[in-house]
Structure 1
Amino acid sequence: MTADELFLEPNIGKPGEKVGYFANRAGFDRFAAAYRDGIAQLPEPAERVAVSTSFGPVRGYRFGDKPGTPVVLLSGRQASTPMWRANLPGLMAQHTVWSIDSIGEPGASTQRKPLVDAADQATWVAEALAGLGLERVHLLGVSIGGWLATQVAIHRPECLASITVLDPANTFAPLSWKAIPVSLGSVIPGMPMKVRYWLLSWISGGARADDSVPEGRLIASGMQDFTGAQPTPARPTDAELTSIKVPVLAILAGRSIIHDAERAAATARTIPGAQVEVWPLASHAVNGEFPDRIAARFAEFAAGQANETDPRR
């Protein structure tokens, strides 16, 4: 499979159009090689599809074919489907799992129209789910993917059975000053790759980050070779959070550098019925650190929602 077969007509060298783009062909080829290598590390997808949304085509992958409500994965900033390598085996044991590459992030999806606000973000997700034929799903997102899942719960709850958010960025607490250099690492041109890897290691609690780690190589290439054009994610208001009606599981990382975990947890608990936990040993890279624990906790949470809606109970 060539890169061009996997990617959906990527934007290359299109500054000024308010959509995410790869700076040049060499940068895209470098990213595409890292992406392709990352995909090769995953379980074999049962299905690889492309669906249309108002904001551009979305690439989706289906892993497994279990009965029941599927779980859909939303990746973090500068990340895409290969970031879920550690999580897929555990999640697939009990659920059909879909992963979709986010509009506006470096991945196999392509942004065609500017994203103006959080409602636009929720809209492309809802349209992608409809295009995949998924009427009702569990959304599971990490970092900015957790923020995105929360926005779908606020703006498009009709397509959700639940959301699970893993240390969501700028969702329940303000970003800390420590998050600023990491953000700058994704936008400053010409930053040495070793500095980008150092930033990735820092946000991941000191975990190794270099070319030998597929996820790190992919994210570092996205930071170097892709320019995003998304609006700054707005933190949900108190009124928006208390209006959420879908079941919520929020897992906050006690060692996260992006926010104060206890403050975030206190805010998350204002969501009616939310199940909120702080995992003291976890960093912002919680999905890679505790994949089995996350799979078990999510399975327990999802089963609880199914039991509550089962008419025989």
Structure 2
Amino acid sequence: MSDTYFLDPNIGRSSSVGSFRSAVGFGRFAAAYRDGMSLLPRPDDVVAIPTSFGRVRAYRWGTRGGEPLVLLAGRQSSTPLWRANIEPLLGSRDVWSIDSIGEPGASTQTAPLTDTEDQVAWVDEALAGLTSDRVHLMGVSIGGWLTAQCAIHRPGRLASAILLDPANTFAPLTAKMIAVSMGSVLPGLPQRLRHKLLGMTAGGASVSDQVPEGRLIASGMRDFAQSVPQPARPSAAELAAISLPVLTIIAGASIVHDPRRAAAAARSIPGAEVELWPGATHAINGERPDEIAERVTRFIAEQMN
């Protein structure tokens, strides 16, 4: 299966779509991706879904059918970053993970993403290709932002939305986070400094090439040139108009935003369940996988009753 992950990757192509800067860079990223995937449970299905913006690589664990849980990773992230979460989340429903168009991963972008509508459109088309049922969509960081935007603009395929410390969704990005983001994507930045910047989002935790996830994100930042619009923060009116069941978990020690301000804004969504988890950092999905699985499973069960 390791030879069938990547879907004709863009290498050194037009700046209008995300692409790897060089064949050497792609090789470095692909090796880290394959190493990361080897640590996950073996998927029950691996598919490629055509969309208007490119082909989306998706993985399924479980064979139960019905409304699945679908995962959207964060910026510079892809399916291997859910390593700690897949097994705990497998309970009464299937789990899908999709690599996002425009991010370094195994999906391939073929058309420019010009605005938020384009970004939610590819997700909606990918979900249509996964299942005829509605899905519970869960995203972390920028994947949480994208999940919220789907709940606002394309809610038809969603049974619920689950947001894990979503970036630029309920509160502005902090100056510290902007500095980390801008600094870490500089192609010539020494790897040691790149790892140090990455570690800041996880409360200063050590990040190194000894861990496939660390290699994967560092390579994505170094070797992949993104071409995506800046994420627009939803307006108060847009949040108030969401009618889906929503669970939001804000990391109490996140550097991405002011956690209390973000939690307060999240509560403007009618009926939303909002929790502020003290001590958790923006790397919450890797830090608290069992707690997240228990809370998400309980939340989804509540929607079924």
Same fold (TM over 0.5): yes
Matches within 5 A, 1:1-313: 1-3=1-3, 5-16=4-15, 18-307=16-305
User: What TM-score, normalized by structure 2, do the two folds share?
Assistant: 0.98
Please give the alpha-carbon distance, in whole angstroms, between the structure 2 residues aligned to 1:150 and 1:237: 11
C-alpha distance in 1 between matches for 2:63 and 2:206: 33
Q: 1:304 deviation in Å?
A: 0.5
**Structure 1 residue 135: Cα displacement:** 2.9
CA deviations 1:188-228 (Å, max 9, x no partner) are: 22011111111111101122210112211111110010010
Against the structure 1 CA distance between its residues 186 and 199, is the aligned structure 2 distance closer, same or farther, given a 3 Å change threshold? closer
Distance 1:223 1:95 in 2: 33
Q: What is the rounded CA distance, in whole Å, between the counterparts of 1:2 and 1:261 in structure 2?
A: 39
Whichever residue aligns with residue 193 of structure 1, its letter is Q
Determine the C-alpha separation between the residues in 2 that align with 1:83 and 1:201.
15
Q: Percent identity?
A: 62
Alignment match, 1:310: none
Distance 1:231 1:286 in 2: 25
Q: How far is the alpha carbon of 1:95 from its aligned partner?
A: 2.2
Contact 1:21/1:228 (8 A) holds in 2: yes
The residue identity in structure 2 corresponding to 1:191 is: L
Matches of 2:155 and 2:269 in 1, distance apart? 14
Say whether the 8 Å CA contact 1:53–1:128 is kept in structure 2.
yes
Paired residues of 1:58 and 1:109 also in contact (CA < 8 A):
yes
Offset, 1:181 = 2.1
TM-score (norm 1): 0.95
Cα shift at 1:187: 2.9
In 2, Cα distance between equivalents of 1:43 and 1:155: 33
Over aligned residues, Cα RMSD in angstroms? 1.1
3-state secondary structure, aligned to 1:60: strand
Q: 1:53 and 1:296 mapped to 2: Cα distance? A: 33
Give 1:77 deviation, angstroms. Answer: 0.3
- Tell me the CA shift for residue 67 of structure 1: 4.8
**Structure 2 portions without partners, runs of 5+:** none
> 2:201·2:254 contact (CA, 8 Å) conserved in 1?
yes
Unaligned runs of 5+ in 1: 308-313
* Equivalences, count: 305
Query: Distance between the aligned counterparts of 2:65 and 2:105, measured in 1?
Result: 28
* 2:60 alignment partner, SS class: strand
Secondary structure in 2 aligned to 1:257?
coil
